Amino acid sequence: MASSLPRAAPDAHPARPGANSPTAEPRQRPAPRPHNGGRAPTAPPSRRSLGSVKDLLSAAGGLTLRPWHERDLTAVRDAFNEPGMYTQFGSVLDEGQVDDAAAGRWIDRHTERWEQGSAFSWAVVEGPAADAPLLGNVAVSQVNHVHDGGWISYWTVGAARRRGVAGAALRALSTWCFEELGLYRLELGHRVENDASCRTALSAGYLVEGRQRAKLRYGTTRHDVELHARLATD
């Protein structure tokens, strides 16, 4: 397992084609969306108000990060039904299959958490168009403004892998977490056998901090997890 310092600076991935051509202009989020019945959040999600948090980000390679939307339902369903993706869904499913209803609940859950300021999950798409093809997901959850921390996760669809998507999106998300949310420490963990996730973390500046024994159970098998973290000052 590699534990070296990252080779790429945050938000720069010059080896990727089109890395210098982001096409979407970040904009300010105008107001919370009415998924909580139009009520204002009960607590501020960050040191800034939710109403001023950016909800459209550009990443290297012409990628755009935006909140999840109901129109993503089919893409979400298909992404989670790819081999190896079941563990990313975050809840136990009948038959191990994600149907339209489960995909819809996943989108709703992430929309609600965004409104509450507890987690921010971003659809990663190719280019600036609203209906651009879905490439993956990057998220910060367990947002904690007592200790200024967050938990990072990510996945990409099979057809988008090994193109630099996860690394570029993770670098953009990390910058947003530090600059927009005011977080100081971001953590993530991956099963020790997940080299792709480990290298993605390293490529975005997340240093290895240690091994957590038997932390996860999938079926009857328990997995050790390697913990990575990046600080705002790294």
Ligand X SMILES: CC(C)(COP(=O)(O)OP(=O)(O)OC[C@H]1O[C@@H](n2cnc3c(N)ncnc32)[C@H](O)[C@@H]1OP(=O)(O)O)[C@@H](O)C(=O)NCCC(=O)NCCS
Burial grade of 113 (CB within 10 A; 0-12, 13-18, 19 or more): middle
Which window, 22-30, 56-64, 99-107, 164-172, contacts ligand X (CB under 6 A)?
Answer: 164-172
What is the smallest separation between the CB atom of 189 and ligand X, expressed in angstroms? 7
Q: What are 58's two structure tokens? A: 């550009």
Where helices occur in 68-216 by DSSP H, the ranges are 73-80, 100-116, 165-179, 195-203
- Based on CB atoms, which residue is closest to ligand X, 108 or 195? 195
Of 156, 171, 176, 223, the residue at the interface with ligand X (CB under 6 A) is 156
- Based on CB atoms, which residue is closest to ligand X, 84 or 96? 84
DSSP β-ladder status, 221-231 and 207-218:
antiparallel
Q: Which residues are CB-neighbours of 11 under 8 A, at least 6 positions away?
A: 59, 60, 171, 172, 175
Total number of residues that touch ligand X (CB under 6 A): 21
Which window, 33-41, 112-120, 142-150, 165-173, contacts ligand X (CB under 6 A)?
Answer: 165-173
- Torsion of the alpha carbons at 151, 167, 200 and 141, rounded to the nearest 10: 10
CA distance 191 to 112: 28
- Based on CB atoms, which residue is closest to ligand X, 77 or 190? 190
Binding track over 112-151 against ligand X, x by CB under 6 A: ----------------------------------------
Residues at the site binding ligand X, with contacts judged by CB under 6 A: 84, 88, 154-156, 160-167, 190, 194-197, 199-200, 203
